[in-house]
Amino acid sequence: MASRWTRLVLMSLMFLGLQTTILNDMRPFSVMIPVMLLFAVTAGTLYGSEVGAISGLIVGVMYDCVLSTPLGLASLVFGAAAYVAGLLPFFVREPTWWTRAIAIGVVGAVGELVFPLAQSMVGLNGHFQPHVVGVFVFVTVIGMLIAPLLLPVCRWTLKESIVG
Amino acid sequence: MKSRRIMALLVLTSIILVTLDLQGSAATKSLRSIFGTVFRPVESVARVVTRPATNAWFGITHYNDVTAENELLREKIAQQEGAAVAAAASVRLSQELLALNGLPTLAGINSVSAQVIGDSPSNFVQSVEIDQGTESGIKVGMPVLNAAGLVGKITQVFSNRAVVMLITDPQYALSVKIINAPKTTATTVPGGDPASEVTIVSVPETIDPQITVPTVPATSNIPGFTPGTTVAPRTPIISSSLTIPPGTNISVRETGILEGRGAGRVPTVRFVDAAQRFGVVQPGSPIVTAGGSLSLAPPDIVVGTVSRVKERLGTAGPLLEIDIVADLSNLSFVRILLYQPITERTAP
């Protein structure tokens, strides 16, 4: 049986395939659904900060490889977002599926906003524009909507196995 | 405590990766290249599987636009068929003249055609990926065109693919020329019948046809090249005379810097000198690349037209909003000029 990290890499490859094809073409309100980021954040809400941060790092590095931004930027943002999402039990004692959905939407949107901020930190200025407000609102809503789909997928992907 | 250590490790790993990549490390380049090779089949499968859904989405959201655009294009094609023949002849003449005077032309630069195989999967990066790379002679910095005009420049190259930064990306900047039509004066001769009014469009206001303009030898630096008609015979004296023939409309040019502004926003041109001779920039004036030894592209590649002029106070000059001629949202095939700017060349 494959370890949770092997499953994570394979599942991330599949999500990356969706991200670079259908989700890249279908942009409602001119905003792309950042499914990779939302997947990393889901890992954080389900399995806590530590697993979230590592998952975010792995998913982020894979995403970095198809972007033209410096390698490590997305992994930093995804890892940090998943880490923050893992702090959910500090705010909600026993998180239910819908509190997790809200957390995925909000943290995912904040993570998406942090990305242009991180870009400006390495000298790639000019991406923080009024457009980001629309991105924030859209990603929050879409994150909450697709969270019920991401939660079982992520739960299966990162479940403890004999090897893992 | 363990959680903090993991977070610190995450930040450290990411910073090391960013630093290595910004330093142009071969390890990060190899990582991207290997991942690209592994991921390519996955992406191809995903594209095939999701194509019906993508097509359905485009069918739902863009059907009316496509129908309207189709009708408009048919009409435009009919209009432009005749104009294209005349334009092709003009371009050929222009290139012959430039070649005759030893000036660089686009025709003298080799190019490679490539297919666009993907967009940037991000909300904040304006780039596309093409299916040609170093094996075809492509290098970082080379300008990319399509049939309409300038599209962007190469920013990353792999063996058989490359990434093109589009001219709408905020990181993109390029020196351009604005070709402004000269101001003309219109004289209306009033008559009894309004239909019989005659409008005479005379010579450019900024150039007096009666004045013989003395020139410095700079105009005769190019052997055999004489703009207009030289009245005075060529003599050893330093100043010669140049007469602009009446009725000739000479376009005046001014340079500026074109800058991308991100998704959904048109690029702008700044640092346009508000010179008296140049006059007021008119919407619709064409924008072409300026060229020059430090420029990112050779001269006279069409970029777009001025869509809006924002006047600014002081010496800032006007800010021009540009309608790009290339449709960046629908790129299929592009042409890469095998011209690497000096500024993009790396030390061997």
Contact assessment for residue A83 and residue A53, using Cβ atoms and an 8 Å cutoff: yes
Average pLDDT, chain B: 75
Our count of domains for chain B comes to 3
Chosen domain end from B52, B69, B103: B103
CATH code of the domain in which B333 resides: 2.40.10.340
Query: What are the C-alpha distances in Å from B81 to residues B231, B262, B305?
Result: 40, 34, 21
In the predicted model, is pLDDT for residue B236 greater than 50?
no
Which of the four pLDDT bands, split at 50, 70 and 90, describes residue B252? low
pLDDT at B348: 55
Is there a domain that residue B116 lies in?
Answer: yes
Looking at every residue in chain A, the average pLDDT score rounds to 89
Enumerate residues 207 to 266 of chain B having a beta carbon within 8 A of any beta carbon in chain A: 260-265
Is B55 part of the contact surface with chain A (CB cutoff 8 Å)?
no
- Residue B140: is it exposed, middle or buried by C-beta count within 10 angstroms (0-12/13-18/19+)? middle
Contact A70 B13 (CB under 8 A): no
Count Cα atoms within 13 angstroms, Cβ side, for B295. 20
Helix or strand or coil: residue B163? strand
| Residue-range definition of the domain harbouring residue B267 | 110-181+251-348
Task: For residues B299 and B343, state if they share a domain.
Answer: yes
Which residues are paired to B111 by β-bridges? B337
Rounded to whole angstroms, the Cα distance separating B282 from B279 reads 9
pLDDT attached to residue B5: 85
Q: Where are the domains of chain A?
A: 4-24+31-157
> What is the reported pLDDT for B226?
42
Tell me the per-residue pLDDT of A115-146, one tens digit each, with 9 for 90 and over.
888 888 888 776 667 788 889 999 999 999 99
Q: For residue B201, what are the β-bridge partners?
A: B186
Q: What is the pLDDT of residues B238-251, one digit of tens each?
A: 444 444 444 445 55
Q: Do A127 and B262 touch (CB under 8 A)?
A: yes
For A78-113, how does the pLDDT look when each residue is reduced to its tens digit (9 = 90+)? Answer: 999 999 999 888 888 888 899 999 999 999 999 999
Instruction: Count CB-CB contacts under 10 A for residue B298.
Output: 19
Please judge whether A72 and B17 are an interchain contact, meaning their C-beta atoms are less than 8 angstroms apart. Answer: yes
| DSSP letter for each residue of B12-72 | HHHHHHHHHHHTT-HHHHHHHHHHHHHHHHHHHHHHHHHHHHHHHHHHHHHHHHHHHHHHH
Q: Are residues B263 and B284 both part of a single domain?
A: yes
Q: Is residue B332 part of a domain?
A: yes
pLDDT tens digits, one per residue of B10-53: 888 888 988 888 888 888 888 888 898 888 899 989 999 999 99
Joined together, the tokens standing for residue A149 give 């789909």
* Within a domain: B1: no
Boundary residue ending a domain (B77, B103, B129): B103
Residues B213 and B257 in one domain: no
In this predicted structure, the answer to whether residue A42 has a pLDDT above a threshold of 90 is yes
B169 and B258 together in one domain:
yes
Gyration radius from chain B CA atoms: 26
- Are B84 and B193 in a shared domain? no
Same domain, B265 and B157: yes
Q: Tell me, yes or no, if B155 comes closer than 8 A to chain A by beta carbon.
A: yes
Query: Does residue B196 sit in the same domain as residue B144?
Result: no
- Enter the tokens of residue B27: 């390890």
- pLDDT for A162: 58
Q: Domain check: are B207 and B344 in the same one?
A: no
Q: Indicate if B260 and B168 belong to the same structural domain.
A: yes
Q: Give the pLDDT of residue B220.
A: 38
- Max mean pLDDT among B30-39, B91-100, B209-218, B339-348 falls in B30-39
Structural domain contains residue B10: no
Q: Is the pLDDT of residue B179 over 90?
A: no
State the average pLDDT over residues B282-305: 83
Report yes or no on B19 lying in a domain. Answer: no
Q: Are both B261 and B300 inside the same structural domain?
A: yes
Q: Which two tokens stand for residue A10?
A: 């394979």
pLDDT at B235 over 50: no
Domain check: are B152 and B263 in the same one? yes
**Which helix H or strand E contains A106, and what residues bound it?**
helix A97-121
Question: Is the domain of B341 the same as that of B197?
Answer: no
